[in-house]
Structure 1
């Protein structure tokens, strides 16, 4: 197995699932600290935004060949995710307890996207060189991958896994926070 295939498998079967598990652990911590009555809907919406920020490049890299356009999206969404993560903790820290378990979850939620971005750059080094040398002509389109990453059932299985561990719990968190927000009459 060549290095690129090995890195792809590490991302598919280690980094991506760990990111989902860390997201679920983070949600459990929010629930335990009653986010709906402490930091509320504003923090909950930041969590959803960060999930979307990382979900977009993940889906794009799973469905399309990585080129300059995909790399730009990956880098921009990673930077914006880091900015929102900083704002999230800055907003939440004075309003509710951030437990040691939540800090550990944040370690994974912050580092895994960086590891994945670096891995994508290493795997697609020629495209990265085109990006940094502004050789973008012909590299700004979306081309579906010829063969799915992992197995043909990987993407549906991963999307189901993420829906169960992250999407549904964070939708529930948003609804719980929204209900508490309206209950306060604010």
Structure 2
């Protein structure tokens, strides 16, 4: 039997694999839309920027103790990622067709990080409260 809490299991074996699957689905959508020739390299740069925005907090969570500072970093990175995602879709939609399937995939790529942060907050509630001086 696992010593992990149910929230950890949800994070590791549901949310993370679902997030990876959504990322692969998005890559397939981009391949089908031929973004290299329709929206150009700038859209790819925006995707790399978003990868860094979510990748840094993810790597930090994997290798460091999750404390108030890391949770705050996750929240800031999520907000920046959302702003970049809006920039990306605005840029792409003026240069190519963003299909309904791709839009739906994007909803997963936006909400899974938020759901993951919520699970982390549940697991580290005292650290979350410490952000506001209450922990």
TM bucket, shorter chain: over 0.9
Deviations 1:75-134 (A, max 9, x none): 111111000001000110121111122112101100100101111111111001111127
Instruction: Give the secondary-structure state (helix, strand or coil) at the position aligned to 1:98.
Output: coil
Instruction: Give the secondary-structure state (helix, strand or coil) at the position aligned to 2:66.
Output: coil
Looking at structure 2, the residues matched to 134 and 88 of structure 1 have their Cα atoms a distance apart, in angstroms, of 37
Match of 1:25 in 2: 25
> Greater CA radius of gyration, 1 or 2?
1
Match of 2:92 in 1: 92
Greater per-residue helix proportion: 2
Deviations 1:134-176 (A, max 9, x none): 77xxxxxxxxxxxxxxxxxxxxxxxxxxxxxxxxxxxxxxxxx
Looking at structure 2, the residues matched to 13 and 88 of structure 1 have their Cα atoms a distance apart, in angstroms, of 29
Match of 2:35 in 1: 35
Match of 2:112 in 1: 112
**Runs of 4+ off more than 2 Å:** none
The alignment yields a C-alpha RMSD, in angstroms, of 1.5
Instruction: Give the secondary-structure state (helix, strand or coil) at the position aligned to 1:118.
Output: helix
Instruction: Give the secondary-structure state (helix, strand or coil) at the position aligned to 1:95.
Output: coil
Match of 1:156 in 2: none
In structure 2, runs of 5+ residues without a counterpart are none
Instruction: Give the secondary-structure state (helix, strand or coil) at the position aligned to 1:12.
Output: helix
- TM-score, normalised to structure 1, is 0.68
In structure 1, runs of 5+ residues without a counterpart are 136-186
Match of 2:10 in 1: 10
How much does 1:43 deviate? Answer: 0.8
